[in-house]
Amino acid sequence: MASIELKGVEKWFGEVQVIKGVDLAIEEGEFVIFVGPSGCGKSTLLRMIAGLEGTSRGQIMVGGRDATAEPPSKRGLAMVFQSYALYPHMSVAENMGFSLKAAGVKPDERARQVAEAARVLRLEEYLDRRPRDLSGGQRQRVAIGRSIVRDPTAFLFDEPLSNLDAALRVEMRYEIAKLHQTLKSTMIYVTHDQIEAMTLADRIVVLEAGRIAQVGTPKELYEHPANLFVAQFIGSPK
């Protein structure tokens, strides 16, 4: 059974159609990356999967269940926001445990889950600090930690590294790859950066103006791009 499946998914904003008949099955534990130029619909498609945008037509299945009409909180998916979305007045532990607290999880259980997430992300020594007393990479890990504690069916990332400097981007790319190896969770990751896509993805979905231009492993796309658009985007020699 696919972890997440899109069937004939379409999206209009008023008269403008921005997602056009997208069919895609994402397997459990798969790391799938949506790539494509700015404005091609990557964020919209991810937000539709998260339930932050409605679906104009088609179905979104999560864990075999029709989630098309479900609100974000029912889908069991975690949207990882960028590090600047941390609460500045809360400690690292409070930031990571916030959604659990909101969901009514008891303090003992909250502390246990936060400790486990901190272990995975190597943040154990920083739990009492405020975000401003952390490095950029540590802050980004806290942002991820806030999602991990909820043990989601899948993680959804929208260009999580785009605001970071080049060195930190490389560090965080490695962190995210390691996180995927450790948690073995389904991950859907949006980027316009070919290098990120080629190094992180099990499969890449190339979007062109709201349609899937090609789906394949990095190797397949590089060696057999379906058309010039994909070839140019992936940077393959075709």
Residue identified by tokens 């992300």 is 121
95 φ/ψ sector (left φ>0, alpha ψ -120 to 50, else beta): alpha
What span, in angstroms and rounded, lies between the C-alpha atoms of 89 and 95? Answer: 9
**Residue 181: contacted member of ligand ADP, Mg ion, none (CB under 5 to 8 Å, by partner type):** none
> Given the rule CB under 6 A, which of 25-33, 39-47, 60-68, 145-153 is the region that contacts ligand ADP?
39-47
Binder of residue 41, out of ligand ADP, Mg ion, none (CB less than 5 to 8 A by kind): ligand ADP
Q: What sign has the CA pseudo-torsion 59, 62, 67, 72?
A: negative
Binds ligand ADP (CB under 6 A): choice among 2, 21, 43, 120: 43
Residues 32/59, Cβ–Cβ less than 8 Å: no
Q: Which has the closest alpha carbon to 201: 209, 214, 211?
A: 214
| Whether the Cβ atoms of residue 92 and residue 98 lie closer than 8 Å to each other | no
- Provide the minimum distance between the beta carbon of 42 and Mg ion in the complex, in angstroms, as a whole number: 5
Question: Looking only at residues 44 through 63 of this chain, which bind ligand ADP when binding is defined by CB under 6 A?
Answer: 44
Q: Is 40 in the site for ligand ADP (CB under 6 A)?
A: yes
Considering the complex, what minimum distance in angstroms separates the CB of residue 132 from ligand ADP?
29
Q: Which two tokens stand for residue 40?
A: 């091609």
User: What is the smallest separation between the CB atom of 187 and ligand ADP, expressed in angstroms?
Assistant: 17
Single out the residue of 12, 13, 87, 174 in contact with ligand ADP (rule: CB under 6 A).
13
Helix axes 166-183, 136-148, angle to 10 degrees: 30
Cβ distance to ligand ADP smaller for residue 8 or 39: 39
Residue from 8, 12, 23, 39 touching ligand ADP (CB under 6 A): that is 39
By CB under 6 A, name the binding residues for ligand ADP. Answer: 13, 18, 36, 38-44
